[in-house]
Structures are given as structure tokens and as C-alpha cells.
A and B are shown apart, each in its own frame.
Chain A
């Protein structure tokens, strides 16, 4: 069976040709970007920092170009050509998604931040290993050509620190979401499918957890984990085993412990409604096992709202983690994080000439959160325009 059965052979040829060309374009742009990155790095290494600023702009420009082609390409693939010939949910999804400018912006920023985080050691113009070292002549300098964001009170380059801060933020946001969503899906399926006392118990647990403000609950758990030597030791050991610094891992555990309620509620509710659908009966009448019914029918029909919620909650967890470090409870001071930088900024918030310390880490933080929020919203509208908004 040909895949694009409604295209005539000539049309198919044109289409394949088009696809090949677009592929070549995107490949070429990709090569240019890699080349520029390598060049930048090489210049940085051989000639110090002197000419790197110009190259940095070239790098950014190349990246934007790359992203533009990337988006344009997918857009073409999934809307213009295919849409006319076959109505497919995936294609309609892309069509709707790209109409939402805010969501495209969110996708752009989210991917950018992820790239910045992954390649932070390569992209950061300065070394941040000992960024806590003593006062130097660069301390608290405002933005200059070499230090585009200025420097911290220890004289470390703020731009480099902001890049590194993305790593910890994304680790928290995505990691906690992944764990929370997995637990939530399992518990939601169990509660929704089996009902009875298991459901009542989980529902009760959910009600209790929901009676706390999330941040307050996390702070309390962290307080307990930090105060109890035995607990702290054992959690730190697991952290060491996973090669994560102790205090950081404690914060991670505290967040993950209660991050399941959102996905749990969504899945449970969805199971209850999907369970009533006749295709579940149809599967049963074919002798489908519980496992098949759960995964193939119920889960597949419940994933849309979970994906949306996951995307939005990534932002929420990034804020929570930043709040913890801001309060001095989260990541170890030795690890560069936006929350930590902002708590430094807070110490100088009444002195305007040190405003860069407040402004730039906060902008990074807000843009990242905004990206995941708008991305989630765009996904929701594109995946299922009739989906009710469950704002809570």
C-alpha cells in the first residue's frame, strides 16, 4: 500500500523532490552552524577573548537561521503539502500548533535553553569552576563588551553563570516532572481502574497533599531530611551513587515525593470516563487482558492532558527549585544556579548599579518558565481544542 495513495505519480515525484531539497537546506544550515561553533571555540582558545564577541554574534545568528529553517521545514512538511492530501491527526496538530505564535515562541525558547544547558561548557566564554572565589577587580562590574551581563561580587562572568544555571534548572524541571508524571500515571491507572478502597485511599492522600501549599510542603520535607542525620545520610548516599551532590539530591527527592498529584488526578479522571466507552467493552469482548486495556486503550486516550500538564509543570518545578535555592535550601552554593544568583542580587537590590545581578538571572528564569508554559498551552490547543482548561 503506497503511503501517499492520493497523490498521483507525478505529484509524488514533485513532493519527493521538494522534500529532498528541504533536507539538503536543513543539512547545509546545520553544517554551517556546527562550523561556526567550532570556529568560535578555536578562536577563543587561540586568541583569547579579544575577537570572540563578534563571533558570538555570528554564532547566535547562525543558530537563529538554523531554527528558522527547522521550523519552516516542519511547517511545510506537515501543513502545506500533506494536509491537502491526507487528513492525519499529527498533521492537523502541527497545523494548529504553528498558528499559535506564542506557542512557537515557547518551543523556540525551550529548545534554545535546552541547547544552552547541554553545551554550556562549550558556549560559556569564561570558566565558572571557582566562581565563589574572593573579591577581584572584576567584582560587580556592570555589563561590558567582554562581560555582556556583567560580573558577580566574586568577579565571575554572569553570562557564563546564567548558562550553567540552565543546567540545574532544567534537570530539576524535567527530572521532577518525569518522576512525578510516572508515579502519577501508575497511581491514577490503579485508582481509576480498580476503584474501591485503593481509589478511596489514594484520593484521600491526594486531598491531604493538596491541602498544603506545594512550596511549603517541599520546604518542610527538606527541613526534615536535613535535620535528621540518618535520613540525610541515606539520601546523600543514594545521591552519591547517582553522582549528584547531596543537598541537591535532597531537594530533588523532596520535590518528586509530591509531584505526582497532578498527573494522578488527570489520569484517574480520564480512566473513569474512558472506562465507560464502548470500545473498552469491545476490547473485553475480544478477550483483551487488563494490561492491554490499560495501556492500549485507556492510557493512549489519557496521555494528551498529561503531556500538556507535564509541559506546564516543568516551569512550575523550575520556579519551586529556584525558590528553594533563593531561600538557601536548594542546590549547594558551589553549583551555579539562577536562584542562588538571585539571592545574591537580592542582597544588593537597593543599589541600582548592581541591578544586572537581579535582572539577567531573573530574565533567564522567567523566559524558561514562560517557554514551557506557553508550549504547554499551545500543545493543549493543538492536541485537543475541546479540552477543558483545568486551571489548578
Chain B
């Protein structure tokens, strides 16, 4: 017997171990075109996504470019207004806040609990602000400090934590390398002392050698500060290395979710299979056939009917694949798949 994810969440016993639970989150963009914007099209960038994030846990979000990973992150942060759904945050003071409905005062608490590191270190730092101002900005906006001196001290702490030197404070972003910029972005996110860090492809813009350093830094920070991560990436190896759970997205929908070991060694959804088939196998005895899926990602403006993957699926399609949007089902303990053919 299979249960849907939201069913499962209700039944989950260790409720207090949950930091963040997202329920049926949707984010649709309206795109207008034509004379005076008469044609309106909906871009379903995030469509009915549910998951929960435990304490000290990392969920890795993977999927190809344009599948809605960044949008998911920004919607959870409420940088973008969600179209519908619930985002329940359990704060360290054991208060539960629905981010979607939260008012100004509550949002302030949310900001102190959850922060984001952005994809492009070049564009995520204001070129006209010194590092001191950039990392100090959270303190100003959230009124966290009494005096300039206190702020400076805290900025220094944040910089030290990410491996930057005090004399970097007075400099401007263009004087830093990509890796250093990303460290500054991490320092800014850590400044408010959050419990959840949302990392949107934090290393995709960096050289491989720098990537490893940043990933190690993140792991260390997570251990030291007991953080939960939502780690967005399209690099499966990195995600596997970083996370306890993996969530695979395709065209705004979650197609597979579960413990990373299970997904890595035993992917179920055809899309996941094709993604993972391109990875080098750590154990040479394990055989993996390379599966190429053809065709481009369909536009999220008019996604295919039924299962969204049915235009590129290599398995034999049945009626259900073409008609019904498959729900996430738990096929094994801690392993959910949205495919009509897997039960």
C-alpha cells in the first residue's frame, strides 16, 4: 500500500524533529504579451511541491536548468510571493510560523531563522558597497545591534567564520575572486545566525579546485552551527556528497524524493535514472547503463498533459502516463517516486 507524501507527513511521529515543512507549494508566473499585454500565459515554475526538512539535515535539490530550483528556493524564502501552499517553519524557540501567511513581525523572525546563498557570486554582492557594509547589512535591516562597534565585531566574526581576513572589511567586491565572493555571500547569510541555510548552486560558478574548498567550508559550518541545508545543484556528485536526502525536480514537479543512498544506488523514476546514468560509478563492479534522453525540456508554459516526462520517457507509456499527473508514492520506506509504473 502506498501513501502520498503529505499523508505520510501527518503521520510522522517525530514531528518535533522537523525544521521546515513545505506543503503543496505552487509558484506560477504570469507572462503577458501582445498589444497592451492582452495575452496572459501561466508559467508553472513550481507546481505542487511538498517536502520536509529535518534538523541538521541536508536536502539536495537536483534537476536540469529551468526546472524551477531557484524559484523553489526564492519562494520558500518569500523573495517571491507563493501562489498557494504552506511553508511551516519551526523556529528554535519552538514556534511554528506559516511563512506564506506571516505578517511583518513574524517575517522578521523567519529572516533570522532562514537565509539564502545565491547562485551568482558576481551579482549577489552590491558593487558599490564595501564588504563591511554588505556583511553588516543584516544587522541594520533587522535591528540586531546597538552600536557601530558591536556591528563591526559581529561582521569580523562572520568574516572569520568563512575564512576571510579582517583587512578585507574595507574593500569592494570587485577586488575579490569568485570563491572569496561566495565566502562573503555565506558570511552575510550567516550573520543573522540562522538555523536553515538555502544554498542555490553555491559552487556552480566556481573553478573545480575552489568548489571543493567551499563545500568543505559549508560542511564545517553545518557541523559547527548545527544547521539544516537545502542544497540546490545540478551537479549530482556534489549533491550526493553533501546531502542526506535528494529531491529530483522536473518541470516544476518533484519526481523522486528519498534518502540519498537509496536514490543514488537505486533510482526509480526514468528521469532520475537518466540523470544518474551519466555519473561515474564509485564501485566498478556495479554496472550502470548510460541512458540518453532525447529532446529538450518542454516549456513550463504549456507542459505536456499527464506525466510531464512522457515526451522524453524511454519506458513504454501506458494510458495513465498520458492522462493523469502521477502523485508521489512511497514505494519503499523513505523513498517516494512519482511514476505510474512504479508501485
Contact = CB atoms under 8 A, between A and B. Distances in A.
A60 interface: no
A201 B198 CA distance: 39
Given A87-B175, A281-B74, A281-B118, A300 B79 contact: no
Interface on chain A toward B: helix, strand, loop, or mixed SS? helix
A11 interface: no
Nearest to A6: B167
A283 interface: yes
Most buried by B among A285, A287, A297, A301: A285
A301 B172 CA distance: 14
Interface string B64-106: 0000000000100101000000000000000000000000000
Given A281-B118, A292-B141, A287 B123 contact: no
A119 to B, nearest CB: 36
Contacts of B166: 1
Contact of B77 (A87, A278, A279, A285): A285
B167 A5 contact: yes
Task: Using C-beta atoms within 8 Å of the partner chain, give the interface range for chain A.
Answer: 20 to 34
A300 B141 contact: no
Given A5-B167, A89-B172, A287-B108, A301 B128 contact: yes
B222 to A, nearest CB: 19
B74 A287 contact: no
Interface string A1-27: 100011000000000000000000000
A45 interface: no
Contacts of A54: none
B118 A1 contact: no
A242 interface: no
Interface in B144-190: 152, 166-167, 169-172, 175, 185, 188
A286 B135 CA distance: 11
Contacts of A285: 77, 79, 111, 115-116
Contacts of B235: none
A282 interface: yes
A288 B79 contact: no
Interface residues of B, number: 33
A297 to B, nearest CB: 6
Interface string B111-125: 100011011100111
A284 interface: yes
B138 interface: yes
B126 interface: yes
Most buried by A among B108, B123, B192: B123
Contacts of A287: 107-108, 111, 141-142
Contacts of B107: 287
Contacts of A6: 167
B237 interface: no
A277 interface: yes
A289 to B, nearest CB: 8
Interface string A265-297: 000000000000111011111111000100001
B137 interface: yes
A279 B169 contact: no
Nearest to A284: B79
Instruction: State the 6 A-B residue pairs at the shortest beta-carbon distance, nearest first.
Output: A278-B124, A278-B118, A287-B111, A279-B126, A278-B123, A284-B79
Interface of B: 74, 77, 79, 107-108, 111, 115-116, 118-120, 123-129, 137-138, 141-142, 152, 166-167, 169-172, 175, 185, 188, 192
23 contacts: A1-B170, A5-B167, A86-B170, A88-B172, A89-B172, A278-B123, A279-B126, A281-B118, A282-B116, A282-B188, A283-B137, A285-B79, A285-B115, A286-B111, A286-B115, A286-B137, A286-B142, A287-B142, A297-B126, A300-B126, A300-B129, A301-B127, A301-B128
Given A6-B167, A89-B172, 18 more contacts: A1-B166, A1-B169, A87-B175, A277-B123, A277-B126, A278-B123, A281-B79, A281-B124, A282-B185, A283-B137, A283-B141, A284-B79, A285-B111, A286-B138, A287-B108, A288-B137, A297-B126, A301-B128
Interface of A: 1, 5-6, 86-89, 277-279, 281-288, 292, 297, 300-301
